[in-house]
Amino acid sequence: MSTQSVPFEGSSTLMTALISITVFVAGLVGNTLAIYVVLCYAKMKTVTNIYILNLAVADELYILGLPFLTTQNVLSYWPFGSFLCRVVMTADSMNQFTSIFCLTVMSVDRYLAVVHPIRSTKWRHPRVAKLVSAAVWAMSFIVVLPVVLFSDVQETFNSCNMIWPEPKDVWSTAFILYTATVGFFGPLLIICLCYLLIIIKVKSSSARVGFTKRRRSERKVTRMVVVIVVVFVLCWLPFFIINMVNLMVIIPESSVTAGIYFFAVILTYANSCANPMLYGFLSDNFKQSFRKVCQSFSAGLETGPNSNKTTVVNQDKPPTVTTLTTPCSVAPQ
């Protein structure tokens, strides 16, 4: 978690607020749209999309903590009290772990789908995916118990942070190593292993037979998950590198280092608003569903709240009635 805030001054304060607001709005709208289409469209309720739904929920909850972080950075103190400090820190950490755990589960699911397509059929079921997702959330809460216990408002800096018991340096170092291992490098190792095995399988099978329609579909889904994982790593790696460097070298506090750290932190939030864009670009089903929602929304704006408008009826033809189907009533295609 972040260390005490270093004040931003002048134009830096305005720039910080503008960047944070942009990321917040984009992430909120994008993830809300992703959650909506998975819940409302029957054809979207696949195993992969159930994991994406949980990832979108984690991203949405994570992004909701950004206004609190921005307020602390701009004011250089935490104005929301001890209770909200603990709630925000817990939610922030929990959704961080949930995101990487969801990506790990998605990668294992891709491994099963590509390497063991027949044997994994009974495991790759929406009901199983829901149980696995529930286990992911439960595991995330257990992992962040130290945050629940030790997060509070620091009296010295009046900032929301971790307050460790003595010896503080040992606790702080252990926590950074713990979060980096369990929340990033450990899952990343599992993810890399899954895709290494997938690459080996794809190369050996493609040398023997051509790709069927199902196999091409699996390749598209796998490519989407790979891109999501790569973007996650690129967005989170600077944050963990800074924390690891800070263990070996004491980074001096200044406006420059504060700006660097802010960039690393805001990049993690940017990842949460980038994911819905990746769904739209890389998945045809998401793209079509997003388009339907936008069309329904624009049609609703055109008709307006009052549908009792004067209509000119052709006397030579019977009147026709036009109905607007809501996304939740769309049948599977």
pLDDT by residue for the chain (333 residues), tens digit each? Answer: 444 444 445 557 788 888 889 999 999 999 999 899 888 876 777 888 899 999 999 999 999 999 998 898 888 889 999 999 999 999 999 999 999 999 999 999 989 988 888 888 888 888 999 999 999 999 999 999 999 999 999 888 889 999 999 888 899 999 999 999 999 999 999 999 999 998 888 777 655 555 555 566 677 788 888 899 999 999 999 999 998 888 888 777 777 887 888 889 999 999 998 988 888 777 777 778 878 887 777 777 666 555 444 444 444 444 333 333 434 433 333
Domain contains 54:
yes
In this prediction, residue 305 carries a pLDDT of: 53
Residue 190 placed within a domain:
yes
* Residue at 178 is within a domain: yes
Q: What CATH number does residue 247 fall under?
A: 1.20.1070.10
Q: Is residue 320 part of a domain?
A: no
- pLDDT value, residue 142: 95
Tokens coding 173 = 């170092």
Residue ranges making up the domain that contains 36:
11-299
3-state secondary structure 135-154: HHHHHHHHHCHHHHHHEEEC
What is the domain count for the chain?
Answer: 1
Q: Please give the pLDDT value at position 41.
A: 75
At 333, is the secondary structure helix, strand, or coil? coil
CA distances in angstroms from 113 to 127, 190, 218, 313, listed in the order given: 16, 16, 7, 56
Residue 259 placed within a domain: yes
Contact status, residue 128 vs residue 215, Cβ threshold 8 Å:
no
Q: Which residues of 74-92 are buried (b: 16+ CB within 10 A; e: fewer)?
A: bebbbeeeeeebbbbbbbb
Compute the distance between CA of residue 170 and CA of residue 232 in angstroms, rounded to an integer: 29
pLDDT reported for residue 318: 43
**Residue 312, domain member (yes or no):** no
Express the helix, strand and coil content of the chain in percent, nearest 5 each: 75, 0, 25
Is 283 within a domain? yes
Nearest residue to 183 (alpha-carbon basis) of 270, 243, 262, 132: 243
How big is the chain, counted in residues?
Answer: 333
Residue 243 lies inside a defined structural domain of this protein:
yes
